Structure 1
Amino acid sequence: MALTAEQKILAARTSLMWDHPFFGSLAVQLVLVEENSYPTMATDGTHLFWNRKFVDGLKKPELVFVLAHEVMHNALDHHVRKGRREHEKWNKACDYAINGELSACGLKMPKCGLIDAQYTGRGAEEIYSLLPDEPKGGGSGGKDDPGGCGAVLPAAAAHEAEKLAKASADMKVKVRQAAAIAAKASGGIGNLPGSMQRLIEKLLAPVVDWRAVLRRFIDDSQTRDYTWMKPNRRHIGSGFILPGLMTDGLNHLVVGVDSSGSTFDPEVLQRFASEISGAFGDGSIDKVTVIYADTAVARVDEFERGDEIFFNITGGGGTAFSDTFRWIAKNVPDASAIIYFTDLYVSDFGEQPAAPLMWAVYGDSRTFKDLSSRTPFGNAISLAS
């Protein structure tokens, strides 16, 4: 006698509890809702919406994979990180981030699933920036599942920051609990299969927001106080007059841009430039000098308070930092801090500059740990997400 869809889901969840208790303990906390307007399954972190025809068409190992897939969407906070990104492209990026990891854990993916070794181990935001844009129009109001293994839905609207933060915090608690259950079932986290252990450790690792790190680095490079003599320009347009920032002397930020032949994502450069511009507009920086260099300094742009910052890559060829740091030492002795936008594929770092240095690293996030460990001075942040 064939099992009903409800019975198949129950059997798959039970199988996860026995064979993969980390996924199973998260799966049983989702509220099951039959919703046949969705083509496969979908989750918003709280519910698991499922389509009867889709469940009926899956074999048990495939259904086990799909349940674990939906659980991973939530564990990785995909339901709170979408922002204003396009639904189908975001779902594809999230699927690529998940499916390689699940396959490594021994789960059997349905043939329609998305998997590509070049994306496995990368974050969804990084993968999203690498994928081509989806065609305009079409879709089904955010209900499509281009990966065929279950979609992820936002826990709240993009502007509802408080609800999204709560959903993320709640999920982090559940992930820690699930990790403890998995460890206990295996006699300790160290006794878990290698792929599962690495996956859980990745999920438990704190997420670093590079924007916050960058801002803190800029803030720490200066001594400031508030003054009514220099109002904050950002709020004047809204009718609010708030005090601006007064620094002890000129706060001069130097931005190095690696303009070698290395491939970089213009979108990442734009996000980086936006953060620098934001700090400039806030009054946190009085002057910005942007240096474009490959093996030698190719161009220098200077921006004073009130100017609009723009980045325009000039250069090509190899990579070396020594000429940049010599140029800074000779021409910008008042530099308060230096931020270098680079992929870190270089052997010539040059001499350590006098000012504090931050490497802002773009490129494949999977290589960041190794590349950043080779830097002889300065601190590094990854711009991958």
Structure 2
Amino acid sequence: MTQPHKDPDRIDMTKLLAARYRAATDRPYLASALYALTVVPSSRVPTMGVDRHWRCYVSPGFVRATPVDELAAVWIHEVAHLLRDHHGRAGRLPAGDQRDALRLNVAQDCEINDDLIADGLPLPAGRMEPRLFGLPTGGMFEAYLSRIPHSHDLSLDCGSGAHGSPAPWELDGNDGPARLGPAEAEALRRTTAEAMRAHQRGRGTLPGGWQRWAEQVLEPTVDWRQVLAGAVREAAAWAGGAVDYTYRRPSRRTPALRGIVLPSLRRPLPRVAVVVDTSGSMGEEELDAALGEITGVLSEVGLRGNRVTVLACDADVQAVSRVTSVDEVTLAGGGGTDMRVGIDAALARPDRPGIVVVLTDGLTPWPAEPASCRLIAALIGEGAEPPPSWVETVRVGGD
């Protein structure tokens, strides 16, 4: 009796979804991201791939030929491209690198696979990893790219969710099954990063690359001057409309009204205070960095002679300066650390600030509740514990 012919284009969904279940069960911090992927069977995709809309294209033949444990590893590999925003990062590369999509894919696979291998995942044969190119592990694909040879046989293609260029087997962006938008994807990245942090707090382990990724998502390294500029703009928004009236500068309409002086609108500059940590844990290098950032503050708000209040603080306020240049700053201290004292002192001043910037290595207690101003903690140095979530936190040095 002959066996019924099996349709080569029919996908074994039971096996495929069992592999995803295994991946999500073994690494529960990835579960939300894994289950956000929409499966699209396609005989045109070589193995598995993803587009930027979180649709996962799967070859029926690849599913048949691959054991469940390896399929689970490939699920994790593909979702890693999307979690790490490889297509977004690829879009910031020079145009020539963006056009070299498959070579770019190799570099991205090297970034992912060394973490997956360190995590004990059984990736299928032919996987790309840094050691194949004499590269160190733990790097970012942008650093690997220039050292991936152009002559290498680049037969893999993980799709536009990786390298950013639409693959021939992908659906049109607006067609087909459910898809995730950029805002939803960003929320999912944060949810995953928080799950990773909770996993570590429960004494679980993560590969180094995933740890760094989660830290970057939850505490992004940005140019803090951009954050300050945004805070200044928000504080100055009041000055952009009908702010307040003053008789110090007569209205232009006054000459038309004999004997009457009309008040005019004024546009005050925002008041800013900088609390500088001068405790014993702040070395010369950290204090130099702090002075450099005070220069950044002055460049943003030191207009028309507007003065910035700088408070040098360890466990007490040691010096207060009203400055228009960094040369006028007085730094003193060297004892314990309590930036709460400096924040309270800044807010108690007659010229109460709308923005307080705290320059510190983070080894300090923080206020128990939100301050009645815009509070920005600019953390200097590595490994500082972050302040409470309601404090805007940026890392100095991440230009």
Same fold (TM over 0.5): no
Bin for the TM-score computed over the shorter chain: 0.3 to 0.5
Q: Which has the larger radius of gyration?
A: 2
After TM superposition, the score normalised by the length of structure 2 is: 0.44
